[in-house]
Amino acid sequence: MTSASERRAGLRGLYAVTPGMVDLPRLVALVSAAIEGGASLVQYRAKEVAPASRQRLAESLLALCRDRGVPLIVNDDLALAAAIGADGVHLGRDDGDPRDARARLPDAILGVSCYADAELAVAAAEAGADYVGIGSVFASPTKPGAVRAAPSLLGEARRRAGLPVAAIGGINAANAPVAVAAGADMIAVISALFDAPDVAAAARALSLPFATDAHAHARTQPAAL
């Protein structure tokens, strides 16, 4: 059985979140470019995709990610994550109990959206999460009505939950350093990555704060729970 420390070991860097599309060759090409540019995790997010197409697309991305040595996390769909043997699942507030997800997928990476609430991050850790998502840290084109989370909450959630933190919402190459300096272990990005004319170049720019993150070696790493 995979230990918590093993699951959390690679949770750092650019977390590429896929756009909703059914054009499989195009989606594979975009994700491949993101990985080439430095994405260390990929989340398959397909809220707008019909269930009939969702599994086919997810399986193709899983094969790509396995070939590249990058974990594939399924967004909001525990059944799909289990069906394809994904590396993990990410749950929002309406996507089921994290404890059930941990019981069903004991070796998988489990992420939980905690929005702008450090108390939710603590509860997620107690439920078996491997990382928490905090946001929207900046104004998000994907979720323009999302509640904003101050960058300082990234560090607070990290300290209180003892878990890696993914900053979510409106992140681009210009503000990514702010999120990383505030305590983000990962930056989850859709638009600034996949809407870019050169996805690999955008991934390299978004990954840059992690290569120059001087505080990473000085700050206390999350405790294994």
The residues annotated with a catalytic role in the active site are 45, 113, 143
- For tokens 């999460």, name the residue: 129
Nearest to 98 by CA among 80, 118, 123, 116: 123
CB 173 within 8 A of CB 192: yes
Give the separation between CA 74 and CA 92, rounded to whole angstroms.
Answer: 12
Give the separation between CA 165 and CA 130, rounded to whole angstroms.
Answer: 9
Torsion of CA 220, 168, 5, 200, to 10 degrees: -100
Which residues lie below 8 Å from residue 144, measured CB to CB, with a gap of 6+?
Answer: none
- For tokens 């059914």, name the residue: 22
Cα–chain center distance at 118: 17
